[in-house]
Amino acid sequence: MKESAVKNGHPVREKKLSLNNPYFDVADEEAVRDTVRSGWVVGDGPKCREFEEAFARYLGVKYALLTTSGTAALHLAFMGLGLEEGEAVIPDYTFTSTGLAPILNGMSVKLCDVEYDTANIGPAFIEQCITRKTRAIVPVDYAGHPCRIDEINAIAERHGLAVVHDTAQSCGSKYKGELVGKQALVSCFSFHATKNLVTGEGGCLVTDDDKLAETAYIMREKGTNKRSMVLTGENIGYFEYQAKGNSYVQSNILGALALSQLKKLDWMNQQRREHAQYLNDGLRGIAGIELPWEAADVQSNWAIYGLRVLDGKLLAVRDALRAEGIECNTHYHPLHINSYYKNMLHCSAKDFPNANRVYATLLRLPMYPQLSRQDLDDMINAVKKVMNSVNNPS
């Protein structure tokens, strides 16, 4: 297939179009430069706190705690809630961080199937996974498309469960007109290099819960009361070790970058939405593929643009598009087929038909703000060329 994509001429692009490319501008560079020159580069610095206040206002929540990663934010949520036993229900189709957070805090996990159209955890499937050991549900907004969080909250309320919302990919997305991040007890974002708001590595825990925030502040700073000492101006020469914790405070350098990125987040997400619409218009009607789906009551931030390639041709199409100069890739291996979860949970592939189907069909195409019209046209033309070859083999 790789050869057949280009055998009748040159590839669509001689210079490859990268799958992911973080958007940075002069303001980002100046923010980092100025912070480095200030000499204040340690964690939980003034730029970190300025970002936390701005991000909390943006989302409409009381507390935002900047962390070293989205994984750290998730782990901090479980530590702060004191969830140290029992089971957490998590989607089978997700990154391992969703499972590691409860596991690192002493819990076990129960894998739950997802809905095929969004790859999000299905509320009906959650009900089937709840047992007397269940203590929490960890829904994920795959590709920036919000899950049905109100239905999930209702399930949690009926069963007395905590909801830790994994919003790693949905920064700036909206659910029923409201920004994602305030619908659950606690939500956890990622600012990884592949996300919409980028600090390279980073994340953020957000909540309206006073007790959770107070505990998380201590646990984020290695279980010490350093933050409260600094804020009150009390300086007795030492910190008190008050609880267990970890070193999850973010560098002031990356706090400054996060603040700069936040100022243009809505613009960056709007560019992604416009790109997605253009791709949808250009790719509609091509045999052998399905376009990404967006529910009527959500506004995705299009963290990922994922086509579905049907009829078992996913890898052949992926390789052919790469030969045409379009970097693309499959995405998550469902947790149940990875050795760590397979050996620990002894689950069966037949229990996750939708996750398996997503895995067998989903193909990520490039998606980032600075894609040009030519880049988008090249993607469309390459997909048309490849699918014509696939659908009409000579």
Which pLDDT value is given to residue 231?
67
Give span(s): CATH 3.40.640.10, the chain.
26-262
Q: Does the pLDDT at position 263 exceed 60?
A: yes
Strand-by-strand arrangement of the 289-290 sheet: 289-290, 305-309, 362-365
Which pLDDT value is given to residue 225?
84
Is the dihedral angle over the CA atoms 292, 327, 171, 261 positive or is it negative?
negative
CA–CA gap between residue 133 and residue 110 (Å, rounded):
10
Q: Does the pLDDT at position 3 exceed 50?
A: no
Which pLDDT value is given to residue 238?
61
CA–CA gap between residue 170 and residue 272 (Å, rounded):
13
Q: Residue 207: in which H helix or E strand, if any?
A: strand 203-207
CA–CA gap between residue 90 and residue 73 (Å, rounded):
16
CA–CA gap between residue 120 and residue 136 (Å, rounded):
17
Matching CATH number, 2-18+265-391, of 3.90.1150.10, 3.40.309.10, 2.20.25.190, 3.40.50.300: 3.90.1150.10
Q: For the chain, what is the mean pLDDT?
A: 95
Residue from 375, 391, 363, 350 nearest 306 by CA: 363
Q: DSSP string covering 353-367, please?
A: HHHHHHHHHEEEE--
* Phi and psi at residue 3, to the nearest 5°: -70, -40
Report the percent of the chain where pLDDT is more than 70: 95
pLDDT band of 8, cuts 50, 70, 90: low
Strand-by-strand arrangement of the 63-67 sheet: 63-67, 203-207, 186-190, 162-166, 134-137, 87-91, 108-112
Give span(s): CATH 3.90.1150.10, the chain.
2-18+265-391
Residue with tokens 């299009």: 302
Residue from 344, 347, 342 nearest 107 by CA: 344
Count Cα neighbours of 217 within 13 Å in the Cβ-side half-sphere. Answer: 18
User: Which of residues 73 and 227 earns the better pLDDT score?
Assistant: 73
Which pLDDT value is given to residue 9?
73
Residue with tokens 């560079």: 29
Which pLDDT value is given to residue 2?
43
Token pair recorded at residue 375: 């880049």
Q: What's the pLDDT tens digit per position in 68-92?
A: 999 999 999 999 999 999 999 999 9
Strand bridging mode 134-137 / 162-166: parallel
Residue from 144, 148, 143 nearest 176 by CA: 148
Matching CATH number, 26-262, of 2.60.120.260, 3.30.420.40, 3.40.640.10, 3.20.20.70: 3.40.640.10
Q: What's the pLDDT tens digit per position in 181-192?
A: 999 999 999 999
Q: Does the pLDDT at position 236 exceed 70?
A: no
Q: What's the pLDDT tens digit per position in 134-163?
A: 999 999 999 999 999 999 999 999 999 999
Q: Does the pLDDT at position 5 exceed 80?
A: no
Residue from 97, 141, 119, 147 nearest 353 by CA: 119
* Phi and psi at residue 277, to the nearest 5°: -65, -40
